[in-house]
Amino acid sequence: MRLTPTERDRLLIFTAAELARARRDRGVRLNVPETTALIADTVCEAARDGRRLAEAIEAGRRVLSADEVLPGVPDVVTSLQVEAVFEDGTRLCVVDDPFRQRGSLGAEAPGAALPGDGAGYHPAEPALRLRVRNTAAVPISVTSHFHFFEANPRLAFDRAAAYGTRLAVPAGSSVRFDAGSTVVVELLPIGGARVAIGFAGLVDGPLDAPGAREAALAKARATGYLTAGPDQEQEREQA
């Protein structure tokens, strides 16, 4: 059986969550990896059961109490992000403050983040703007760090221009494309090592590898992904 990287990650989360459930049932207080896995798995299963985004996130917040985890865990696990598959597609779920309380250790907590003064931080400027038309009969949402080139095949836009980019929106947020609507989006280059794994499987590797862009475009065309049409005025505008 061939599994995609995304499917393998999902099975890893499930396995770790099952271990966490078994230990919790024995009265063992959970550590950070066990806590993270159990919350993430709860969100993914809620989505799989047909619940809405807000309901899945709320399920993740309710699965554990501070009494069921080790001291300091609520100080470390203050926010969790996991991609879950809903009936209308994949969405990034952000579970903030999963224990609904401030941690007890404060700056002494393991891995605590100490805020700085923000000196030297400059927000990135969008690299380009694209017109995107949703040709589907249902709304489509794309999350902040999804490789936009691989977004839903029913979204019509200049995919060649969007290769190697993501939405220029805050982490954890998304852009909604209502059925039949056209939305102008701003895009940023994917940073870091520039490796795209999972998503729709059009790349699954380094974005800048020789021939990767051409191969991804060929695969997109062969599998029915929509691109800019001559009557859609899909003109790129340099920001």
More confident: 238 or 107 = 107
| Angstrom distance (rounded) from CA 219 to CA 112 | 44
Q: Is 25 helix (H, G, I), strand (E, B) or coil?
A: helix
Section 207-222 average pLDDT: 95
Q: What is the pLDDT of residues 67-105, one digit of tens each?
A: 999 988 888 888 899 999 998 888 889 898 898 765 555
Confidence of residue 231 (pLDDT cuts 50, 70, 90): very low
Is the predicted pLDDT of residue 213 greater than 70, yes or no?
A: yes
Q: What is the pLDDT of residues 191-210, one digit of tens each?
A: 899 999 988 899 999 999 99
Element (H, E) at 166: strand 165-167
Q: What is the DSSP letter of 178?
A: -
CA distances from 71 to 95, 142, 191, 204 (A): 20, 37, 35, 39
